[in-house]
Amino acid sequence: MKVISLELPSDLKQVELVCISDSHIGDPFANEQELMNQIRYVEETPNCYCIINGDIMNNGIKSSKSDTYTEVMSPMEQMIKAVLTLKPIADKCLAITQGNHERRTAKESGIDLMRLVARELHIEDKYSDGMAYVFLRFGEQSSHDRHRKVPYTILVTHGSGGGKTVGSKANRLADLVAIADADIYLYGHTHQPMVFKEGFMRVDWHNKQLNMVDRLFVNSGAFLDWGGYAEQGQYRPSVISTPHIFMSGTKRRMWAHI
């Protein structure tokens, strides 16, 4: 678990966080236009940040399930494309993870493609080949705790498995609570855009009480049109919809839309 601690300015009233994953660059059905729309949005929107959550490259290498022959770019070309595509938002990236598609090369040859992408983007300090845990503080609490920033924690992982039904995909995301406590749980991989909340009683040792809090669960979608691997494998058509998370800078309040 890579722990990342970040402080943003105290004059931020709200932070927006765009969840970018599963662009599958190199797949013939990758929708680069939609990916670029989101990249441009992050780049141009004030107080907007992003998390880059794996499967950015399709990386259909010889030993993988993806069809090498239908790839529209070689793995090297995909890596160069990934770097060039993500460059405009690198300085707004809070965390960057490896997906199972990039992991193929790591397994095969011990070379971590996503670490190299993060390195090229000068954000290797935000990189995890597994899970990332972000401590984020910004804004100023409006009531009792003046001059204290609002703290949020985010557990990020590309994910694995998930099954085909919406329910089984939701279960994978909800299961993250067994790993660590966090305010926001962020998953990719299943290509199923999803947002839900659960209640949780958080231990407050300082005041010896249990605080009822909400926890936000977000699954990002894919930048893929339907066909090829999805069609042959009888996967449901994926909808291209990128979750945007919003966090208040005046009190602990967060929400998301897809």
Of 27, 34, 55, 140, the one binding Mn ion (CB under 5 A) is 55
* 26 binds Mn ion, rule: CB under 5 A: no
Tell me the window of 27-35, 51-59, 73-81, 223-231 that interacts with Mn ion (CB under 5 A). 51-59
- CA dist 31 and 80 (Å) reads 17
Closest CA to 29 of 166, 228, 182: 228
User: Which residue, 60 or 99, is less far from Mn ion as judged by CB?
Assistant: 99
* 189 binds Mn ion, rule: CB under 5 A: yes
* 27 binds Mn ion, rule: CB under 5 A: no
Of 47, 53, 100, 220, the one binding Mn ion (CB under 5 A) is 100
User: Which residue, 149 or 189, is less far from Mn ion as judged by CB?
Assistant: 189
Give how many residues touch Mn ion by CB under 5 A: 4
* 243 binds Mn ion, rule: CB under 5 A: no
Q: Smallest gap, in angstroms, from Cβ of residue 214 to Mn ion?
A: 27
- CA dist 121 and 90 (Å) reads 6
Tell me the window of 29-37, 171-179, 183-191, 218-226 that interacts with Mn ion (CB under 5 A). 183-191
Give the residue nearest to Mn ion (CB): 189
* 71 binds Mn ion, rule: CB under 5 A: no
Residues that bind Mn ion (CB under 5 A): 55, 99-100, 189
